[in-house]
Amino acid sequence: MIKNRPAFLVNDKAYQTLPKEPFEIDWRSIPDLIQVTILGLGGIQPLTHSMAAAAGGSVYDQPSDGEIALFRERGTKFQMISVVLSCVAAGKDNNRQTIRPFAVTLIPASKRGGVEECSVDWIANINTDKMRKAGLIYIGYNPFSGKWSLYGNIPGYLDGQREGYFDEVGIVIDQFFLATQTPQDDEILTMDIRMPTAQMQHRYEKHRQKLFFTPFEKVEARRVWGAETPIELFLLQALAPEGLFPECQVLIMDDGATFPSLYHLWHDIEFRHSDGLVTEVDLYFPENRVAVFCDGGHHSRAKVRIRDAEIDTKLKSLGIHPVRITGDEIRHNLPAAIEEIKTALSA
C-alpha cells in the first residue's frame, strides 16, 4: 500500500475509483529508448552471440533447436520474469480509458516463497504467445516498496468500477526467461543508444545489464524506470487532470541534450561523474524546457542546498527553468505546487 497520500487527491472520488477495462496504454510517457529496452525482452535473455550463432543468426521468443542444445549442454537454469507496468488514469480518448505508465518493474515467478527456476526444455514446451496474453495483474502492488497482495489472472477485477487506487494495480505486459548464468566470454548483444561519449555508453550499458540481467536471489520487485518516490507519483497524478504529462527521470547534459534515465542510475557514483553530465531531473517538460525537482527532507541540508543552487544556475544557463518543490508541499499543499509548475510552463 502506498502511504501518506495527499488529502487533495484522496478527497476526489474519481481518484479512489478503479477505471473500467478496456484500457488504452499511452506509451508516450515511456521514453523511446526505455520502450525499446522493455518491449524487446521476450524469450530467453540476455541475448548473446552464442545464442545467435546457435540459432543460425535470428533469435525469436521461442527457442530454436540450436539454442535448446546450447543450454542443455551448459545445464542452464532460467527464472521467469514478469515485466510490470504501474499506471495512472489519464482521461478518455474516443470514450476509451487512457492510462499512462509511471513505473516499470521486474518481478520473478515464485514457488513456496522462493524464486522458481526452470529448464530450457520447459520453456520450449510452452506457448509464449498464450502466456503473454493471459491478462496477469498484481493487486495491492506498491512499486516503491515492491510489496503486493495478490497475483494472477483475476477474473472481473477491472471489469466494473469499484473503490481502489489504480496505481496499486501492476499490469503484466510481458514475460521473459532470465538465464541464471552466462559465460564471461559469451558477449551480450547491445545496441548503440547514442550517448555523447563512449564512456557514458559503457557505464549506461553496464547499469542496464545489472538491472535487467542479474538473476534474482529472492522474490522481490526490481525497479527499472519511472517515478522514484511516491511524492513524484502524487505530483504526476495532480498534473494529469490539467493535461500535463512530463517525462520522468531525465538526464541533462552540459550542452542541453537530454537522455532517459534508468532507476538508480544517478546513484551510481561512477556514472554520475561522467563527463558532461549535469544532473538527473525528476520530471521534465521538454517543449517548455522546465525541470521539476521533488526535493525530500535531505535537501534542507546546507551542503545539499549549495549543490542544488549550482545545478539550478547551470540549468538556467542552458535555458532550462528549474522548479524545486518540497515533499511537504506536495503532501500538504498540492494545489500550490501545481500552480507553481503551471506558472513556470507559461513563462
Residue-wise pLDDT for 254-287, tens only, equals 999 898 888 877 777 777 777 788 999 999 999 9
Q: Which of 12-16, 101-105, 127-131, 270-274 has maximum average pLDDT?
A: 101-105
Q: Do 160 and 307 sit in the same domain of this protein?
A: no
223 located within any domain: no
Q: Do 236 and 191 sit in the same domain of this protein?
A: no
Q: Do 29 and 112 sit in the same domain of this protein?
A: yes
CA 250 – CA 228 distance, rounded (Å): 12
Q: What is the mean pLDDT of the chain?
A: 89
pLDDT reading at 83 higher than 80 = yes
152 located within any domain: yes
Q: Which of 23-37, 42-56, 126-140 has the lowest mean pLDDT?
A: 126-140
Q: Do 178 and 234 sit in the same domain of this protein?
A: no
Better-scored residue on pLDDT, 37 or 76: 76
Domain end call among 197, 217, 247:
197
321 located within any domain: yes
209 located within any domain: no
pLDDT reading at 171 higher than 90 = yes
Domain that holds residue 84: 19-197
Domain end call among 197, 218, 240:
197
Count of the separate structural domains present in the chain? 2
Q: Do 193 and 236 sit in the same domain of this protein?
A: no
Q: Do 327 and 186 sit in the same domain of this protein?
A: no
> What is this structure's pTM?
0.90
Q: Do 166 and 252 sit in the same domain of this protein?
A: no
Looking up residue 269, the CATH number of its domain turns out to be: 3.40.960
5 located within any domain: no
Average pLDDT (57-86) is 94
Better-scored residue on pLDDT, 199 or 103: 103
Quick one: pLDDT at residue 298? Answer: 64
Average pLDDT (305-324) is 93
With cut-offs at 50, 70 and 90, classify the pLDDT of residue 303.
confident
Q: Do 167 and 236 sit in the same domain of this protein?
A: no
Q: Do 274 and 133 sit in the same domain of this protein?
A: no
306 located within any domain: yes
Percent of the chain with pLDDT over 90: 59
With cut-offs at 50, 70 and 90, classify the pLDDT of residue 299.
low
Q: Do 74 and 184 sit in the same domain of this protein?
A: yes
Q: Do 187 and 234 sit in the same domain of this protein?
A: no
Domain end call among 178, 197, 216:
197
